[in-house]
Amino acid sequence: MQKQIIEKLEAIVGEKWVDTDSERVLSYSLESTNDNYSMVAPEPVSGSVVVKAADSEEIAAILKFANQEKINVIARGAGTALAANTIPDQESIILSLERLDKIIEIDEENMLLKAEAAVTLGDIIEELKSNDHLYFPLHPGDEGAQAGGMVAMNAGGVRAVKHGIMRNQILGMKVVLPTGEIVHYGGSKGKLLKNNAGYDLMQLLIGSEGTLGVITEVSLKLYPEPKANGTLIVAFNDRRDAFAAVPAILKRGIIPMALEYVEKDEINMAADDIGKKWPAENGEYFLIIMLSEAKEDDLFEIGAQLDEITAEFNAVDMLIAQSISERKNILDIRSHILPAITDKIVDSPDVTVPRGSLLEYLDKLNEIEAKYNTKCPVIAHAGDGNLHVLILKENGNMPSYFTEIKEDIYQSAVDIGGTITGEHGIGKLRQKYLSMMYSKRELEIMKQIKNAFDLNNILNAGRSI
Ligand SMILES: Cc1cc2nc3c(=O)[nH]c(=O)nc-3n(C[C@H](O)[C@H](O)[C@H](O)COP(=O)(O)OP(=O)(O)OC[C@H]3O[C@@H](n4cnc5c(N)ncnc54)[C@H](O)[C@@H]3O)c2cc1C
């Protein structure tokens, strides 16, 4: 990066907050894609600079300057993205949000938590521990993920069945547009449940993968803390049975907080990796059902109903965890699957299908496994129809059929009304598959939207659409 550019950035944020040290810049140029999918993650281009702005005003000045000089800017949260979303492919300003780390308020009347962009999921959970009646339900895997990053990725995760994904939690936000204007969405206070005035640009920002604006503040919905919580593990010997049980459970009016599907090898690897024990001894395939109810009695009643329903699908065992430590144990093991299986996999497309079509997708997956003479284990946010299909390494190497199998996994989902990604987004890894989902005209409209926000294409250029 040229000296005069560095000097200008130093003039905006102060010398201390501009970093050109190559090792540190490299650490900001890598993300979880490099850790977990090293065979498909691109190598970062060197020569970028890390800039740590203090507030929206400094970010506005950086973006105005970047526009003037036509320099690419990558908004950087915690770097837990999984689709090559923040890895520079050109010399860039890596705009780290880390100094915007304050929880601004918990507004009890409006049941919301307003946070600066870099407040992490872990911070939110910790802050709400001292609040005895409000909580934030979502848990998209990595507790280091930042509020801004979770919004920019429209994260989903384990606990989205009852209250929805990130998009459903956002009441307002403060954003710096690529041209440097600071705007507020969700009214000037960012606290609106309803807003039908004009096009909803806030919804466009959600899931925009850092391409339309830099999010600096977010208001997140809070919910009444459920008084009775329990986690059930239901074991099956056939994965068809486990999948078939999912719509049956939901259809009977049971709406759990989470309805996850995992397989024995992966869940045991995750447990071993963090020195814990997966509590279920029987079965090969498991549903993890997290319940959060108003009363203990409801919990027991639903537990009994689940026992009945899953028995119809040949469940071989059911365990109930009620204490906080038992439930945390299960969530910790579940959340650790991805890091634990990293050495085993090349990639794991997170296709999503209508949840009533889970079995249909499984049949297609069986055909894919037969076609390539391989196994495709699945981890799924099953209650959302969101499957992470594992493409395994072959003797530690990229399988020769990698490109073809990946395409089949995506196409099979799209063919039954699904999508190529339910939560990890497009980034750099999935751009070429977007045409499976959208017509030329639809993609053209997306490009026009990008142009309307960012005519000089300075924000995370070449990502997402
Ligand atoms: C072990 C593990 C498990 C995971 N499980 C899940 C899961 O279950 N569900 C799920 O949805 N995701 C999951 N993820 C993915 C990841 O946690 C999410 O994508 C997360 O929301 C990204 O947040 P971040 O702060 O790390 O953002 P980053 O990785 O830093 O950035 C992600 C994207 O958002 C943009 N961005 C970041 N901050 C801002 C901002 N303030 N303004 C504008 N753009 C911004 C970046 O430019 C980039 O395009 C998992 C990741 C890991 C490592």
**What is the residue-wise DSSP string for 319-354?**
EEE-SHHHHHHHHHHHHTHHHHHGGGEEE----B--
d(Cα 350, Cα 33) in Å, to the nearest integer? Answer: 14
DSSP 375-435: ---EEEEGGGTEEEE-EE-BTTB--TTHHHHHHHHHHHHHHTT-BS-SSS--TTTSGGGHH
**Are 113 and 128 within 8 A, CB to CB?**
yes
CATH of domain 340-422: 3.30.70.2740
Contact 431, 84 (CB under 8 A): no
**What was the pLDDT predicted at 264?**
97
Q: Using the atom order of ligand 1, give the atom closest to the CA of residue 147.
A: 25
**Closest to 322 in 3D by CA, of 348, 299, 353:** 299
Closest-lying ligand 1 atom to the alpha carbon of residue 156:
11
Burial 294-329 (b: 16+ CB within 10 A, else e): eeeebbeebbeebeebbeebebbebbbbbeeeebeb
Q: Please list the ranges in the chain whose pLDDT falls under 50.
A: none
Q: Report the residue among 80, 208, 348 best suited for mutation to probe ligand 1: largest number of ligand atoms under 8 A from its CB.
A: 80
The sign of the torsion formed by the CA atoms of 131, 136, 141, 143 equals negative
Q: State in Å: Cα 169 to ligand 1 middle.
A: 16
Spacing, Cα 209 to ligand 1 middle (Å): 9
pLDDT at residue 294 in the model: 87
CATH number of 228-335: 3.30.70.2190
The atom of ligand 1 lying closest to the CA of 213 is 43
Q: Dihedral, CA atoms, 137, 142, 148, 152, nearest 10 degrees?
A: -90
Task: Determine the distance separating the centroid of ligand 1 and the alpha carbon of 85, expressed in angstroms.
Answer: 8
Ligand 1, residues at Cβ distance < 6 Å: 31-32, 74-82, 85-86, 97, 117, 140-142, 145-146, 148-150, 152-153, 155-158, 209-210, 214-215, 338-339, 423-424, 460, 463
Region of 205 (left: φ > 0; alpha: ψ -120 to 50; beta: rest) is: alpha
Structure-block tokens of residue 169? 């939690």
CA distance 176 to 156: 24
Strand pairing report for 228-236 and 134-135: unpaired
Q: Which CATH number fits domain 103-224: 3.40.47.10, 3.40.50.300, 3.30.465.10, 3.30.43.10?
A: 3.30.465.10
Separation CA 303–CA 282 (nearest Å): 19
CATH 3.30.43.10 in the chain, residue ranges: 3-96
pLDDT at 142: 87
Residue type present at position 261: Y
Rounded to whole angstroms, how far apart are CA atoms 11 and 414?
A: 49
CA 148 to ligand 1: nearest atom: 41
Instruction: Considering the chain, tell me which residue range(s) the CATH 3.30.70.2190 domain(s) occupy.
Output: 228-335
Q: Residue 420 is encoded by which pair of tokens?
A: 């190529």
Checking phi first, is residue 408 left (phi over 0); if not, alpha (psi -120 to 50) or beta? Answer: alpha
Q: Which architecture does CATH list for 3-96?
A: 2-Layer Sandwich (3.30)
What's the gap in Å between 286 CA and the centre of ligand 1? Answer: 27
Q: Which atom of ligand 1 is nearest to the CA of 423?
A: 11
Q: Which of 98, 100, 141, 99 is nearest to 121 (CA)?
A: 141
Q: Tokens standing for 243?
A: 């999948």
Residue 141 is predicted with a pLDDT of 77
Q: Which atom of ligand 1 is nearest to the CA of 74?
A: 47
pLDDT digits (tens, 9 = 90+) for 38-75: 999 999 999 999 999 999 999 999 999 999 999 999 99
Question: What's the residue count for the chain?
Answer: 465
Give 147 Cα–ligand 1 centroid separation in angstroms: 9
Is the dihedral angle over the CA atoms 50, 52, 55, 58 positive or is it negative? negative
Predicted confidence at residue 245, as pLDDT, reads 97
Q: Is 22 helix (H, G, I), strand (E, B) or coil?
A: helix
Kindly state the tokens that stand for 286: 């498991």
Radius of gyration from C-alpha coordinates of the chain: 22
DSSP per residue, 130-186: T-SSEE---B-S-TT-BHHHHHHTT--BTT-TTT--GGGGEEEEEEE-TTS-EEEES
ipTM score over 0.85, yes or no: yes
* Residue 158, pLDDT score: 87
User: Hey, what amino acid is at 58?
Assistant: E
